[in-house]
Chain A
Amino acid sequence: MPADRTTKVVTRLFGTAGSSSIEVAMKHGAYSRLATALGMTPAAIVDEVKKSNLRGRGGAGFPTGTKWSFIPKGADTVYLVCNADESEPGTCKDRELIFWDPHLLIEGMILSSYALGCKHAYIYIRGEMMREVAVLQAAVDEAYQKGFLGQEMRSAVGTFKMDLTVHRGAGAYICGEETSLLNSLEGRRGWPRLKPPFPAVKGLFGKPTIVNNVETLMNIPWIVEHGGAKFAELGVGKSGGTRMVCMSGHLNKPGVFEMPIGITFRQMIDEVCGGVPGGRKVKAVIPGGSSMPPLDIDELDVPIEFDALMSDPRIKPVMVRPGQVFELAPGRPLRTMAGSGGIVVMDDSTDIVAVTARIMRFYAHESCGQCTPCREGTGWLARVCTRLANGAGRLEDLELLSSISYGIAGNTICPLGEAAAWPMMGFLTKFRADFERAAATGEANHKAGRVPAAAHTHGGAH
């Protein structure tokens, strides 16, 4: 049966008092799927996850079961790592999920570890989430006390015992990228690794490793309880289950919602979030975290589903510059992607150039510095955008932004380069008039000899 707006897979305990304590969580079914899972063979669980059409909720949308099947057969040590380094601007679901239901995450990790043959799993949680670190550590301690962790349990194929460690990051957006996360977990700087080898073959401490997002892992207990086919039915096409949607920006009722994966942006804005304040119109929507190219007001009837956002012809292709489509592969234009579920709504009073400058400043700040196109290019984008936003730009700055973006995309070890270049090209494609107006103001200021300080990066969005 397809999900409706009341279907709850991962948010059943949202709003329940004391939900992070093991007593309350167990009253609501926590750890009840352990017996079912341990009665199955690990391979049977992987099969259910494949059938479920569960796709990674961290941003890439890769099929989870397929990822799991990349672990080499007969590997002696396998690691499972939960990516709780949520820091993509606009995304605020994993923090809420951990706060309300840490035991669902732990249960999901026990089931997944059994399926993967992992004996020690790690949760890499963002350093800034000090409240959630405390909640999660307390929950892990409770799970140890109850014997769900650290003690042998009987299973269909012998016995199973695992450890789980909470590892706190220390402030670096890049550590949300999985290979950077692994380096950070190994006690290094968070520098992304070249792929291949992929983590499933050579990951944490050189061993086969699966890195999954918080929300992804929290879906596993439901899949074990109800079966993969039922989970697939909740969703749309090749995307199973529900989706956590984070709604922020200019909305009457912003919030974090678990929603059917077929819901459209317009429905989310108007029906779920009560529309835009002051009766204003939507100008731009970031569809899945600030690294995803934006949508304009004519593109909001598309569902938030992974494949739709990549291929729906109602979404205009991103252009490198007028007349040149940006292609991911020959004949495959970049439209946008579902990303991490962080939807940011901007009304028609928004200064798009100032918003773009702020986004570019973020990526420049977070570039790890390893690859030259990203290290130099993101800072360059930030400076050029900032001077345009501050009335100090030039007409040729638009072509400069295009050329820098095109020089970054595809030329870096990890996707942080694209995370800056794609939205830059996307905003330029869909809101070119705003950039042209800003450039014209800059030219006029230059002519009149009243150029404001270009380095000034502050400034509201209105």
Chain B
Amino acid sequence: MATAFSPQAEQKIQDICRRYPNTQAACLPVLHLAQDEFGYLSDEVLDLVADRLSLPKSHVFGVATFYTMYHRQPVGKRVLMMCTNVSCMLRGGYDTLHKLEQTLGVKAGGTTADGEFTLIEEECLAACADAPAMICGRKYFLNLTPDKVEEALAECRKLPAHSHGATASASATQTPGQKKH
């Protein structure tokens, strides 16, 4: 298998596994780690996680596809999660989302051609009292009205990247999962 965890990641996996009575319970944290390491969870990466934790591949596939934060396709260097749920909707969250779509030139769910941003229409981020809200990694953008979008994006560009960034060709294809090697 061409894909392998780095020695640092391997060390972290051992630390994670010590916190649980079996390796299955390490499945979510190790998938997070794998996504940090490889940018997204391709079939090869899922196989690697399954092998490392001695779990059936079908189990790891089932988990990876159940949760919305595991990316099965390449994503941009930075993932923008814009909330449009009820509290944000009431305070113009959709206007902000549309402004983001216009400014970035992608629809929600898409990745910009330069591989910089993936825009996601997100469910409630638990920042309702400061709606509309968006997060990019550990950074919250609160009371994010459309007029503040450009400034917010400039700030986002300075934040640490979440992934190596999707290439334009990879992001253009919307096929779920990657071809088996």
- A residues 401-435 in Cβ contact with B at 8 Å: none
Measured between C-beta atoms, what is the minimum distance from B155 to chain A in Å? Answer: 15
Q: How far is the CB of B35 from chain A (nearest CB, A)?
A: 9
Task: Tell me the complex Cα distance, A205–B21, Å.
Answer: 8
> Known: A89-B128, A167-B29. Is A459-B123 also a contact (CB below 8 A)?
no
Given A89-B86, A205-B22, A355-B89, A172 and B124 contact (CB-CB distance below 8 Å): no
Select which of A92, A168, A173, A355 is within 8 A of B129 by beta carbon: A92
B interface, by DSSP: helix, strand, loop or mixed? mixed
Q: Check B135–A249 contact: CB distance below 8 A.
A: no
A73 adjacent to chain B (CB < 8 Å): no
Q: Are A249 and B138 in contact (CB under 8 A)?
A: no
Assess whether B26 is interfacial by the CB under 8 Å rule. Answer: yes
A89-B123, A248-B128, A344-B90 known; A188 vs B24 contact (CB < 8 Å): yes
In contact, A134 and B138 (Cβ under 8 angstroms): yes
A169 near B26: Cβ-Cβ < 8 Å: no
Q: Are B25 and A186 in contact (CB under 8 A)?
A: yes
Q: Once the chains bind, are A248 and B94 in contact (CB under 8 Å)? A: no
A165: min CB distance to chain B, Å:
4
B19 at the interface (CB under 8 A from A): yes
Instruction: Count contacts on A: residues with CB < 8 A to the other chain.
Output: 58
Q: B67 touching A187 by the CB < 8 A rule? A: no
- From 154 to 204 in chain A, residues with beta carbon under 8 angstroms from any chain B beta carbon are 163, 165, 167-173, 184-190
B124-156: CB near A (< 8 Å → 1, else 0) gives 111111110001011110000000000000000
Residue in chain A with minimal CB distance to B35: A170
Q: Interface 1/0s, chain B 46-66, versus A by CB < 8 A?
A: 000000000100010011001
Q: Please report the C-alpha to C-alpha distance between residue A170 and residue B65 in the assembled complex, in whole angstroms.
A: 11
Q: Assuming the A-B contacts A169-B28, A189-B62, are A460 and B89 also in contact, with contact meaning beta carbons closer than 8 angstroms in the complex? A: yes
Contacts of A205 in B (CB 8 A): 21-22, 25
A230-268: which residues lie under 8 A (CB-CB) from chain B? 246-250, 254-256
A-B contact pairs, 28 of them (CB 8 A): A87-B124, A89-B87, A89-B128, A90-B124, A91-B126, A128-B81, A128-B125, A130-B135, A131-B139, A134-B138, A163-B19, A170-B28, A170-B67, A170-B68, A171-B67, A186-B24, A187-B22, A187-B24, A189-B62, A189-B63, A190-B66, A246-B129, A248-B131, A256-B129, A355-B89, A362-B85, A365-B123, A460-B94
B contact residues vs A (CB 8 Å cutoff): 19-29, 31-32, 55, 59, 62-63, 66-70, 81, 84-87, 89-92, 94-95, 98, 122-131, 135, 137-140
